[in-house]
Structure 1
Amino acid sequence: MSEENINNRKDAIAKLKELAEEIDFCFFCTNIKSEQSDSTPMSVQEVDDEGAIWFLASLDSNKCENIKADSAIQLYFSSPKDFKFLAVTGDADLVRDEKRVDRYWNKMVEGWFEKGREDPNIILIRVKPQKAHYWNTKHHKLLSYALTMYSAITGNKNDQGLHGEIDIPN
């Protein structure tokens, strides 16, 4: 497996954006310093140009209460069918931005809020990543499968994987 570490801010944000938006769903973990962390599946709304990852949430949720108490979070993205994985550590804060909520609003999101778009509990979570680690393939999924099968049959080493650290300097 080849290693690629990305320390340049622009490249780091581009890689983070590519993987997080493509995989979309993650386990959003709060209360991570405790033995009983709280993990919730959540969908990414956007990775902005500064590298912040945005989510929609309900202000009265455990997730938001946990963020108020301790902003440290972890995100775990997984797309096994595409051999893509991403782990992110950072800090989260709660943001009111009606224009951004309007931009993200859709029928899928509407199902989570009793009062629809006018629900007063709608809040944005902004995650400011500090570090991330990713794993994915160098090749298309079908070629990756073929190379894995070839490696299994021949016993030759298969170096189709790629992983690395993403450091997002402030």
Structure 2
Amino acid sequence: QGRATISKDKEKIKELWEPVIKTWFTGGVDDPRITVIKVVPESGYYWDNKHGNVVAGIKMLIGATVGKTLDDSIEGTIKV
């Protein structure tokens, strides 16, 4: 959860600009469709697997096959 604000701040757009973004915003930093969204988090939820993505993926496939959760991940809530 958090709060979001919307801005058309040209200086911030220039600061965050990357050339590849011109793929979508063909007018460059002056494209009128560009908007900056600033999110200030209040809380969040995290999930991390203990053994890496490959092992987690294999466990997910096996779990789906046998109909049992083999999840041994670490998860929780963070308050900011």
TM range (shorter): 0.5 to 0.7
The answer to which structure has the higher helix fraction is 2
- For residues 51-70 of structure 1, the aligned pairs below 5 Å read none
Give the unaligned 5+ runs of structure 2. 64-68
Residue aligning to 1:166: 78
Q: CA deviation at 1:139?
A: 2.1
List structure 1 runs of 4+ shifted beyond 6 angstroms. Answer: none
Partner of 2:27: 115
Shift of 1:120: 3.7
Cα deviation per residue 1:120-147 (whole Å; 9 max; x = unaligned)? 443211011111112220222234356x
Letter in 2 for 1:130: E
Counting only pairs closer than 5 Å after superposition, residues 4-153 of structure 1 correspond to structure 2 as: 89-145=1-57, 148=59
Say what the alpha-carbon RMSD is for the aligned residues: 2.9
Q: Normalised by the size of structure 2, how large is the TM-score?
A: 0.63
Q: Percent identity?
A: 28
Higher strand share: 1
Q: How many pairs are equivalent?
A: 74
> Quick check: 2:4–2:39 contact (8 Å CA) kept in 1?
yes
Distance 2:29 2:38 in 1: 19
Secondary structure in 1 matching 2:15 = helix
- The TM-score normalised by the length of structure 1 is 0.35
Residue ranges of structure 1 left out of the alignment (5+ in a row): 1-88
Bigger radius of gyration among the two: 2
Q: How many angstroms apart in 2 are the aligned matches of 1:158 and 1:114?
A: 47
